[in-house]
Amino acid sequence: MEAEVAIMKIETKAVHAGDRKVDPNRPGAFIPVTTPVHTAVSFVYESTAQLDRVLGREEEGYCYSRYDNPTNSALEELMTTLEGGAGALACSSGMMALHTALLAALADRKKTVLAASALYGATFSLLTKVLEPLGVQAEFVDICDLEAVKSKIDSLKPGCVLMETMSNPLLRVGQMDRIAEMSRAAGAALLVDNTFATPLLVRPLELGANLVVHSSTKFLSGHGDALGGILVADSQHVDAIRSLCRIFGPVLGPFESYLTMRGIKTFALRMERQCANACRVASWLASHPRIQRVHYLADPEHPDAAAIRRLLPQGLYGAIVSFEIKDARREDVFRFMDRLNVVVRGTSLGDVHSLLLYPVISSHRDIAPKQRERMGIHDGFVRLCTGIEAAEDIIADLEQALAL
Ligand SMILES: Cc1ncc(COP(=O)(O)O)c(C=O)c1O
């Protein structure tokens, strides 16, 4: 089955990979169709000699759930298959996956990280507030300016280059394959946060990245009920992530692992629908008299249109649409948000329900207003992630809420 899964399309892999493992110790026993929740913290064997072999890693098996756990292993195999990696680690959150990935990327290299200047806020804080005080140097660059990236890579010779497939909330897209080439030439590991794209749209390891992380809390789980993170590594980094896991235990709990795996089985279906909804909502917003500007990847005028055409499959441009309400002050945006009935006012994304976030009070709350303005995040700026509802209902909800 494993060899067959490897050549299947991603929608099929999402449904089958990782499940129905045959227990080598119980040949002929029944096989559950889906992976059960293994709550056990430790595992025993019929003989101490076998336990010794498993603990010594001479024989495959489980001994302690901080090292690995059968439910997590199933999810890790699934994500390894979807991203085309050599191995994966299921972590307790997206931030934990990022932290572990950075440690693995820097393990044998220079302790400098060259990161995209537009990053998820907590990732920026992880670099500047946690890792810098420990001796890591963090430098930032406009990841869409290839010349600037090259010059920084040449001058800094970083151990790791860190980027997101699409930036949040302005949706800029860097040329990942070219950045991978430059990173490889300089001996740096390329680490990509692929949360917004999912492996349906982009598979960074196939484009030359070394490590991929997801906040699986978002599109992969998709139901707003399981916090989690997934780290997928190439063959160069897979041992490092497993030994880091044994030492500091960033692991996901087995219940969340089960929910995440269940969510992933439908992620491709949901993502297709969510992308189609985003496309319809974006073109409706673009012609609405109260909307100043729409940021969406299908826009032919998008500043990164060439990279988008090259790197993303046609018609799948993500489910995030950011837009600015004309001349809206903070209180106008509050009024607009309070009128929403279908679209949920929240701080996440990627769920079956549409979610609208106001960066000024959430992701960009701690940034000084002037700097926020310079970044292009004005008081009237909101970020919508479309869910799987009927597009007509999302549009009707936005329409009545905009009719202030
Ligand atoms: C792009 C991105 N990366 C990482 C994270 C962190 O994920 P988590 O909240 O699961 O720790 C988020 C959370 O919103 C995110 O949007």
**322 CB less than 6 Å from ligand 1?**
no
Sign of the torsion angle spanned by Cα atoms 217, 219, 220, 222: positive
Q: pLDDT tens digits for 231-249?
A: 999 999 999 999 999 999 9
**73 CB less than 6 Å from ligand 1?**
no
| Average pLDDT score, the chain | 95
Q: Tell me the CA–centroid distance for residue 277 and ligand 1, in Å.
A: 22
| C-alpha torsion angle, residues 286, 279, 353, 328 (rounded to 10) | -10
Please tell me the predicted confidence (pLDDT) of residue 121. 87
Sign of the torsion angle spanned by Cα atoms 126, 246, 15, 224: negative
What is the value of pTM for the model shown? Answer: 0.96
User: Does the pLDDT of residue 149 top 70, yes or no?
Assistant: yes
Q: Tell me the CA–centroid distance for residue 204 and ligand 1, in Å.
A: 17
Please tell me the predicted confidence (pLDDT) of residue 272. 98
> Which of 213, 217, 259 should be mutated for ligand 1, with most atoms under 8 A from CB?
217
Please tell me the predicted confidence (pLDDT) of residue 28. 84
Q: How confident is the model over 17-34, as a mean pLDDT? A: 87
Q: Tell me the CA–centroid distance for residue 148 and ligand 1, in Å.
A: 26
User: Does the pLDDT of residue 225 top 90, yes or no?
Assistant: yes
Query: Of 270, 280, 272, nearest to 399 (Cα)?
Result: 280
User: Does the pLDDT of residue 51 top 90, yes or no?
Assistant: yes
Q: What residues are paired with 323 via a beta bridge?
A: 294, 382
For 364, the token pair is: 């960009």
Query: Of 84, 112, 111, 108, nearest to 239 (Cα)?
Result: 108
Helix (H) or strand (E) holding 313: none
User: Does the pLDDT of residue 179 top 80, yes or no?
Assistant: yes
- Grouping H, G, I as helix, E, B as strand and the rest as coil, residue 383 is strand
Could you identify the atom of ligand 1 that is nearest to the CA of residue 164? 1
Which amino acid belongs to residue 261? M
Q: pLDDT tens digits for 280-326?
A: 999 999 999 999 999 999 999 999 999 999 999 999 999 999 999 99
User: Does the pLDDT of residue 2 top 80, yes or no?
Assistant: no
The DSSP symbol for 188 reads P
Across 177-309, the runs of DSSP E, i.e. the strands, are 189-193, 211-215, 229-233, 291-295
